[in-house]
Amino acid sequence: MSFDVQAIRQQFPILGREIDGQPLVYLDNAATTQKPQAVIDALVDYYSTCNSNVHRGAHRLADEATMRFEGARDTLAHYLNAYHREEVIWTSGTTESLNVIAHGLAQQLKAGDEVMVTEMEHHANLVTWQQACKKAGATLKVVPINELGELDVEQYKAMLSDSTKLVAIPHVSNALGSINPIVELTKLAKEKGALVSIDGAQGAAHFKIDVREIGCDFYSFSAHKLYGPTGVGILWGKKEVLENWPVWQTGGEMISEVSYQDATWNVLPYRLEAGTPNIAGAIGMAAAVSWFAQLDYDAVQAHEKALLAHATKLAEGIEGLTIIGQAKNKTGVLSFIMEGGHPADIGFLLDRQGIAIRTGHHCAEPLMNKLEVPGTARASFAIYNTIEEVDRLFEALAKVRMMLD
């Protein structure tokens, strides 16, 4: 098992930056990850050599752009172990992917139907289903979490019913780092005949995703949380579900035939991809996935676990600091509050020492209300972070503690 974090870091140009004369310590990876040179090169190469629209051009640049764009779809399909390449739908990111599903579901739900989410949801995996249920007169059920920030699986089982039409689960909580047992949860939902949608925005950055093994109907994630560009992501869905799913947007590309009176829709994947796609983004996302896939997966997991374990140990040694979210099975996230300091103040004082974290409710306001905190300070780790950077975080927090006293 080999993992050379310094060799990894050399591939990320931005990690050489300084902030106010201090070396950058970037610990805001749950919001967005930095990009390796391989991804930057893929974007530059596309724009420099074959920038063109795809699919219908009658010239060499269009052919080359189309080959790269559709090749990127093949890369994602292989990475996910999809059944068919046309199950990979390009979107602007996880949020749009979830809205594609919710838009279609809202047209199928009726009064008496139920949709289940959890108390740990990001707004993108809550408001979408909330609004779909309101539109259809269906019921939204919220599965509770325990005091550690873990999903209550027994309550989940009890809340499933023959009326459950869809279960929406985060693979990993962005605010707490809790990892959900998505294979088990999916199996239980399928036994009731429900569709299962996994919000993989945080999971895809830490785990190899196999949609066949999970057994879900939909899996969504964004490129920018997996070392890729912003503004692009994918919705993966089973072909038999997606091929008759209500269209999300209308316009070019998703049309089969059109007259002034009516229109018919294209086949998958194009029927759900209206308009000019984010061609460069798709190519960049494929480059990121290819880069990530060639790493030693077991070594990456061991490194990330070591970072979190070290950070947790140091956090437990600071008087007045409380870790928010202490699930037995968690990854990548250390959320905390400190006596005498608002999370925003903590973030500001850390930034002046060159350390980038995130503060606030992390698009999980109902969860923060349940936990009775105004928000948290959140340090989130990626494969290029080091034990030394974790030490720097807590050296800086010690100074913050003195400033706040």
> The CATH number of the domain where 318 resides is what?
3.90.1150.10
CATH number, domain containing residue 179: 3.40.640.10
HSE-up of residue 64 (Cα within 13 Å, Cβ side)? 11
How many whole angstroms separate alpha carbon 107 and alpha carbon 334?
Answer: 39
Query: Residues 404, 161: contact at Cβ < 8 Å?
Result: no
Both 283 and 302 in a single domain? Answer: no
Residue 405 included in any domain? no
* Domain count along the chain: 2
Q: Given 293, 320, 348, which residue is the final one in a domain?
A: 293
Both 182 and 94 in a single domain? Answer: yes
The confidence score (pLDDT) of residue 2 equals 67
State phi, psi for 198 to the nearest 5 degrees. -105, 125
Both 70 and 179 in a single domain? Answer: yes
pTM over 0.75: yes
Both 342 and 214 in a single domain? Answer: no
The confidence score (pLDDT) of residue 1 equals 47
Catalytic residue among 50, 133, 216, 363: 363
DSSP-assigned letters across all residues of 141-171: EEE-B-TTS-B-HHHHHHH--TTEEEEEEES
Both 91 and 239 in a single domain? Answer: yes
Helix (H) or strand (E) holding 351: helix 343-351
Q: Which domain, by its residues, includes 352?
A: 5-27+297-400
50 has catalytic annotation: no
Residue 33 included in any domain? no
Mean pLDDT in order along the chain per 10 residues (405 residues) = 87 96 97 98 98 94 98 98 98 98 96 98 96 96 97 98 98 97 98 98 94 98 98 98 95 94 96 97 98 94 96 95 97 95 96 97 95 96 98 96 85
Both 309 and 207 in a single domain? Answer: no
Q: Would you give the DSSP letter of residue 99?
A: H
Both 268 and 330 in a single domain? Answer: no
